[in-house]
Amino acid sequence: MQNNNQNEKAGDKINDFVQKNRKAIFMILGIIVFLLAGSVVVLSVSDVFRKKAIAEVEELSRRYEDLRHEITSESHEGHDHGDGSVDVDVETLLNDLNTFAKSKSGFAGGKAWSIIAQIHSDKKEWPAAEDAWLKAAKAASKTYLGPISFFSGAVAAEEQGKWEQAVMLYEKSISLPVEFPAAPHAQFSIGRLYEDKLNNIPAALEAYRLLLIKWPNITTWVNLANSRIIALENR
């Protein structure tokens, strides 16, 4: 009986509190409902904009693929009909890509920067390619484009003879918490640069041995690393 009386008193107190503060309670509940509804709307709108941005960058990618053969050709003769139309198309595409990339972040922005980088790589404009690859990596660091962009930036750095920069970028391609199938290749490239370009044999050996530890089942790169370790140790 005592428990029943206590429960009744507690219920009365709660009821009194609700009655006295019902306006404030209803306002708080209304705010919560409003915030939840707003969150749903924001997420829905964000999803719409994200899908729209991806569709736009895929169209830009399609335009690049249409021009890629002409871009990589040694001469535009026979492709631009002698009027320079391909050069104009490429320049227009680059302008559109730059405008898009600067206004977007995440995957869509990173994809746009990566297309810019590919165009400059096709034209062997390595400083511009490296710069664009780094911007792609920054924009899309949480996606698969992150490590790919750092790796490709390292290749562009190598083309310029920037060996230490290339090592740093290969290391970044491996360090991101994103699955990267070319990671053993990147690790071997670090050892190769230390060995062939920077003349740092201890660092080269360390890089090759790290490959054996981290990717023992990737036979091709393990065999290559083992062969270099044996060669360096027998010098």
Q: What is the pLDDT of residue 70?
A: 85
Indicate if the pLDDT at residue 139 is higher than 80.
Answer: yes
Q: What is the pLDDT of residue 43?
A: 33
Q: CB neighbours of 180 closer than 8 A, spacing ≥ 6?
A: 144, 147, 148, 151, 173, 174, 186
The verdict on residue 209 lying in a domain is no
pTM to 2 decimals?
0.76
The verdict on residue 234 lying in a domain is no
Average pLDDT of the residues in 155-160 = 98
Indicate if the pLDDT at residue 216 is higher than 80.
Answer: yes
Indicate if the pLDDT at residue 7 is higher than 60.
Answer: no
| Cα separation, 7 vs 141, whole angstroms | 57
DSSP state of 177: S
Q: At what angle do helices 201-214 and 183-196 cross, to 10 degrees?
A: 160
Q: What is the pLDDT of residue 117?
A: 97
The verdict on residue 215 lying in a domain is no
The verdict on residue 19 lying in a domain is yes
> What residues make up the domain containing 98?
11-180
Q: What is the pLDDT of residue 148?
A: 97
Q: What is the pLDDT of residue 87?
A: 85
Convert the pLDDT of each residue in 82-130 to its tens digit: 556 778 999 999 999 999 999 998 999 999 999 999 999 999 999 999 9
The verdict on residue 138 lying in a domain is yes
Q: What is the pLDDT of residue 35?
A: 55
The verdict on residue 133 lying in a domain is yes
- The pairs formed by 219-227 with CB atoms below 8 angstroms and a separation of 24 or more are 221/184, 221/185, 221/187, 221/188, 222/184, 224/188, 225/188, 225/191
Q: What is the pLDDT of residue 72?
A: 80
The verdict on residue 144 lying in a domain is yes
Q: What is the pLDDT of residue 39?
A: 44
> What's the chain's average pLDDT?
85
CATH assignment of the domain containing 138: 1.25.40
Residue 166: which of 130, 215, 212, 204 has the closest Cα?
130
**Alpha carbon 114 to chain centroid, angstroms:** 9
By mean pLDDT, which of 26-35, 165-174, 189-198 is the weakest? 26-35
Indicate if the pLDDT at residue 16 is higher than 60.
Answer: yes
Convert the pLDDT of each residue in 40-87 to its tens digit: 433 343 565 568 999 999 999 999 999 998 888 754 444 444 556 778
The verdict on residue 2 lying in a domain is no
By mean pLDDT, which of 64-78, 83-97, 144-158, 201-215 is the weakest? 64-78
Q: What is the pLDDT of residue 71?
A: 85
Q: How many domains does the chain have?
A: 1
| Cα separation, 89 vs 189, whole angstroms | 36
